[in-house]
Chains A and B, each alone.
Chain A
Amino acid sequence: MINQKIIFRILGFLLYIEALMLLFCSAFGFYYHEDDNVAFTVAGGISILVGGLFSYLGRKAEKRFSRRDGYIIVSTSWIVFSLVGMLPYIISGYIPSVTDAFFETMSGFTTTGASILNNIESLPHGLLFWRSMTQWIGGLGIIFFTIAVLPIFGANGVQLFAAEATGPKHDKVHPRIEVTAKWIWSIYLGLTVVQTFLLSQGGMGWFDSVCHSLTTTATGGYSTRQASIAAYNSPYIEYVTILFMFLSGINFTLLFFLLFKGRVHKLLKDTEFRWYAGIVLSFTLVIAAVLAVQRGGDLEGSFREALFQVVSVQTTTGFMSADYTLWPPVLWFLISLLMYAGACAGSTSGAFKCIRIAMLFKLVRNEFLRIVHPNAIIPLRISGQVIHSKAKITLLAFFALYVGVVIGGWGVMVALGLDMTDAYGVVVSSIGNIGPALGTYGPAYSWAHMPDAAKWFSSFLMLIGRLELFSVLLLFTPGFWKKQ
């Protein structure tokens, strides 16, 4: 049955890795002579202690694990990471409430980017960096990160990767998962470094550039400023951020083929990429047109504002250069539609993903065709490949579950005391790992005024959204725990 020892053993290992990250952040406290280095050292120590305890509980573990174990490992590793990751906030006293600290950390790891902080600038550098770092690690996934840096899972890594990766299909760039992980992470790291350089050339300080790059490539959305990107008031910085949000929304496998094999064709012919680019373009044009008309002609400004917000919401980043809740209400609707979309599978973005939208659209179109030609065999093609019926069923089930969770979550949020619009926005934004929502949870506000219970529920939604529903919800099915 469930191999508890191996689960403990692996969680123990993961905690050692997190301890290293925490201790790394304490360096900022020393460098800037701030008071958070103690918090990080203590948190790192606790992480090592708990890791040691877990390793002890998992000593002499059998080295193989079943599918069930794999799913438990993936879900619990995200929770354990968040539980330990919230310690610096609490110990340093900058976020004294456990609820708030957990929310902030989970929002970080799941790359949601919703914050309960009302005065981000008051945080010391170490904590600001830790916020950004949680998003960067969570962007491609905790397990995937571990696969790239340490070979502790062995051949079992594939199973864990499958449970954590997003999208209906998992492409590899190399037969071995370890090498695949290394390549993907180098692309990720490369994007981050290039963006840091470009941002710093635009008048942003080095520290801010690094933090913003970490959260842009992760499509996370934590900023070091309360007003997000708008604080810099620089078109250059906005365009650079738009570019990197867009790039991070592309399937990293495609980026690999583009960057290392020069296959531009593969990217341009990819169904998902076309849908992604198409959605960005069409939404931007409509919104830009409405804004331009409303403002009597500021074409560049309207275009930039529209493009930034559209890319930010669609890639589920959540940076803001303007408050979209101040736009005409019809545009709110467009933005809330975008919150469902998400960018490409295999990228760092969350939500439903363009490939599923494309598949759903084609599926529905095929049904219409079938009514006219009852005997026709109509294939569902994505990037020239025929999708078999099992994948179609999984897609429909995912769609149903996604909508179901949104509706159910909406009800829960209303019951917890949120206003109807607010509740809807918060649920869609949490599950899609976006960040800003609607109404009083829009870009201009933090989520601090949310009731405690709602914060916990929202954290839960973020996690199931990040792991694409099935991986986490599976643990709540009785069949999962039943002995065969």
Chain B
Amino acid sequence: MKIIIAGAGEVGTHLATLLSKEKQSIILMDEDEDKLNKLDGYFDLMTVHASPSSIASLKEVGVQDADLFIAVTPDESRNMTACMIAHNLGAHKTVARIDNYEYLLPKHQEFWKKLGIDSLIFPEMLAAKEIVDAVKMSWIRQWWEVRDGALVLIGVKLRAGAEILNIPFFELGGPDIPYHVVAIKRGHETIIPRGSDCIHENDIVYFMTKKEDIPYIRKIAGKEKYADVHRVMIMGGGRIAVRAANIIPSDMKLTIIESNRHQCNRLTELVDNKVMVINGDGRDLSLLVEEGLETTDAFVALTENSETNILACLTAKRMGVSKTVAKIENLDYIDMAEGLDIGTIINKKIIAASHIYQMMLDADVSNVKCLTLANADVAEFTVKEKAPVTRKAVKDLGLPKGVALGGLIRDGEGMLITGNTKIQAGDHVVVFCMGLMIKKIEKFF
């Protein structure tokens, strides 16, 4: 697959290196030669020093036979221009990164298609959604809905006191239990569990379940004393904070702390009245206490500086805030932050990249998510007529190692998959797999 990525910024670079490891033909374009030099000679991709919105250079890199053109420069209108040119030159599919919520509205989709932009991606919006999901269910670290919530995948960290610790799965109960543990993250390792494995203290466990059974999971995970979130404090009033403020449920009180006065003034124009905007340094503890940190239920650190975010979250934790969310752009810090017990970690690069990765896969895969904490992907496949997966019961399929089938949705009804389940054509199956194995298991569906 030939993929051209325009813009060697954070998202572009991350995506290019991710895909090049997957043996895709990647061409990365940027006008800044220094950014490209860092990659050339280390990764198996081609870098081209040229403007992504120049017709001549797009022709030069062979956009006419590109399968996917991704524009992720910092400038939204430039991305759109580049996509339009690429589409008209013959690129199969185009994706543009945007900064404007308005463009994302479904009623405008046709319009963008007509112009030659097949998909739009708004990383800040996706990040804001993750934050709000994390805050809504404060005891859950990661939350992912399949098919409008027919099934959900949740990641929970289990501590001492949870009911299901140290019991092998086969003793936990057979096919009747209303959940399926698809993966366990223990230390740096991600495990796809078998019957003889059991959950240890401090594991992050990924449950696949139906929405109505979530309270049951909360009970067995020993999380019942977690308070619901009513007050949220966000540190750093950037674009993600604005988007989060706009989609947060109305029963939550939100405070945004921003150190730049000019940005504070802008914030008051962008968010509604219920949001309190405070000008000050989020690292100033007395300021936080004054603004009610102790009565805050969730603390979200979204400054540009990953270190600040981590430290601020730790401080908030110590002051008694039960849920913390940190934006960490430095990929190497993610494992460390995880070890420091920062509840949910937001990484714009991973979010955007997994979103684009999904578009790359065949149309049968309707939904893919890279889990920030575990080195794994969750994907939703629609089973084709006569697909290999329908021939035998799940336990006899001979699926590759590191793959777990979580659940399926048949006629809008979610159900969990056990060894004896027989998958039928037309089912939507949720697959959990290690690393970037989705391409390998595609053939089963």
Chain A residues at the B interface, C-beta cutoff of 8 Å: 155, 157-159, 162, 170, 172, 174-179, 385, 388, 390
Contact = CB atoms under 8 A, between A and B. Distances in A.
Interface stretch (B41-49, B128-136, B146-154, B157-165): B41-49
Nearest to B2: A175
Contact of B20 (A155, A172, A174): A155
A159 B41 contact: yes
Contacts of B21: 155
Contact of A177 (B2, B27, B37, B44): B44
Given A155-B20, A155-B21, A175 B46 contact: yes
B41 A157 contact: no
Contact of A158 (B27, B41, B49): B41
Contacts of A177: 44
Contacts of A159: 41-42
B378 interface: no
A212 B197 CA distance: 65
A179 B25 contact: yes
Given A175-B26, A176-B23, A176-B25, A162 B2 contact: no
A172 B45 CA distance: 9
B33 interface: yes
B31 to A, nearest CB: 12
Nearest to A390: B37
Nearest to A165: B41
A158 B42 contact: yes
Given A155-B20, A155-B21, A388-B33, A175 B42 contact: no
Interface string B30-43: 00010001001111
Contact of A155 (B25, B40, B43, B46): B43
A157 B46 CA distance: 13
Given A155-B43, A158-B41, A388-B33, 17 more contacts: A157-B44, A158-B42, A158-B43, A162-B41, A170-B41, A174-B25, A174-B46, A175-B2, A175-B25, A175-B26, A175-B45, A175-B46, A176-B25, A176-B44, A176-B45, A178-B44, A179-B25
Interface of B: 2, 20-21, 23, 25-27, 33, 37, 40-46, 49
Contacts of B20: 155, 175
B391 to A, nearest CB: 32
Contacts of B37: 390
23 contacts: A155-B43, A155-B44, A158-B41, A158-B42, A159-B41, A159-B42, A162-B41, A170-B41, A172-B46, A175-B2, A175-B25, A175-B27, A175-B44, A175-B45, A175-B46, A176-B23, A176-B44, A176-B45, A177-B44, A178-B44, A385-B49, A388-B33, A390-B37
A403 to B, nearest CB: 26
A176 B47 CA distance: 11
B251 to A, nearest CB: 49
Closest A-B pairs by Cβ, 7 of them: A175-B46, A175-B25, A162-B41, A155-B44, A172-B46, A158-B44, A175-B27
A170 B20 CA distance: 18
Contacts of A388: 33
B59 to A, nearest CB: 12
Contacts of B25: 174-176, 179
Contacts of B45: 175-176
A42 B317 CA distance: 70
B29 to A, nearest CB: 11
A159 B43 CA distance: 8
A176 B25 CA distance: 6
Max count, chain A CB within 10 A of own CB: residue among B21, B25, B41, B43: B41
A162 B44 CA distance: 11
A54 B26 CA distance: 34
Contacts of B27: 175
A78 B300 CA distance: 55
Contacts of A178: 44
Nearest to A171: B46
A385 B40 CA distance: 17
A155 B436 CA distance: 15
Max count, chain A CB within 10 A of own CB: residue among B2, B33, B37, B44: B44
Nearest to A178: B44
Contacts of A174: 25, 46
A179 B1 CA distance: 13
B45 to A, nearest CB: 5
Nearest to A172: B46
B282 to A, nearest CB: 35
